[in-house]
Amino acid sequence: MSHSMPEPRAAGATALDDLPEPFEGYALDDLPVTPIGAGFPDTGAGDGDGPRAEELDPLNLPRWLTEKTRRERALRADERVPAHVYYPALGQFFSDGWISDVRLLVQSGKEATVYCCDANPSSGYSLVAAKVYRPVGVKHNKNPQAAYDEASLRHTFERKVKVRTFTWDARYREGRGIQDARLRRAYENHSRTGREVQNTTWARAEYETLRRLYGAGAAVPRPLAQAGNAVLMEFCGDEDGPAPALYAAALPRADAERLFWSVIENIALWLRCGLVHADLSAYNLLYWRGGITAIDFPQAVDAAVNPHAFEFLVRDVTNVCRHFGRYGVSVDPEPLAYDLWEGA
């Protein structure tokens, strides 16, 4: 790496196996963004045709879920997404023929909302995931539409409270360049125009990162499209629901060590691609069909340019080691992080 880092600990630093070089993928054309107010198809969402929650037995849900997650899934079994919560960025995916309906709100977090969508048969998928980044600085709200409405009405936002998330943390932004000088100044000053640039920047960054890592063979969802501050990608799950995050899954103890090293191998592959996840934990590692898939890459940093990359790597590895320690996998995270860094 180009900038100085702490010296490796022991003389016995392990050399990692050679990993694939980064995918050089095809060139992207800029995707247009559907104007606000563009129409959406009448999906009939929210018509209440699903089974009532009290009629479901949580024990019939997938066995790998924890009891708490099973109960939550049972209570949400008839949940649908009413048409009025569609964020306009999804309109591009409708018009481009990627999706035909929004089936389920999968997760609404501090940075974005993820929807499970019905894909058009011509796409080759039955279900896809649409991730819509919330307007910068808008607080998390269980109703995503309320957050978007709040953003559209908040004309004096910059004088009000800001949410402390990675989008406002300068450490993640170091090494990222914006070619247009005017837009770059707006971005750095957090002006209204800067927020619009920032909203699109994080979605674009995640799409490009996923494309790069998926092409290199990493265990990440396949990216499909990006428009404005929305990203469309492969859905990790099935008709019964989304794949659970590691923190919500009950892993077979006999598989824990294998799964742990599969995550570490992926971290090494990301480093070979010049990237550090920078926010890795049991909350953005999904357990599905006996394997683990990593998600949430908008804040991923350039390992060669960002001066905090090694710090982020140590934190990522520590979080992974801490979680798998519950299953009896005992690995010292700091020497492991050194080995990964030196082997990249």
How far is Cα of residue 150 from the mean position of the Cα atoms in its chain?
23
Residue whose tokens read 């009939």:
44
Residue type, 65: L
Pairing type for strands 127-133 and 112-119 reads antiparallel
Distance CA 104, CA 118 (A): 9
Active site residues: 279, 296
Environment class of 285 (CB within 10 Å of its CB; exposed 0-12, middle 13-18, buried 19+): buried
- Cα–Cα separations (whole angstroms), residue 302 to 171, 216, 309: 11, 16, 7
Burial status of residue 39 (CB atoms within 10 A of its CB: 0-12, 13-18, 19 or more):
exposed
Torsion of CA 87, 133, 110, 324, to 10 degrees: 120
Query: For residue 316, how many C-alpha atoms fall within 13 Å in the half-sphere facing its CB?
Result: 31
Q: Which residue has the tokens 């299953």?
A: 327
What is each CA distance from 333 to 181, 238, 325, 336, in whole angstroms? Answer: 41, 34, 11, 5
| CA proximity to 275, closest of 307, 309, 316 | 309
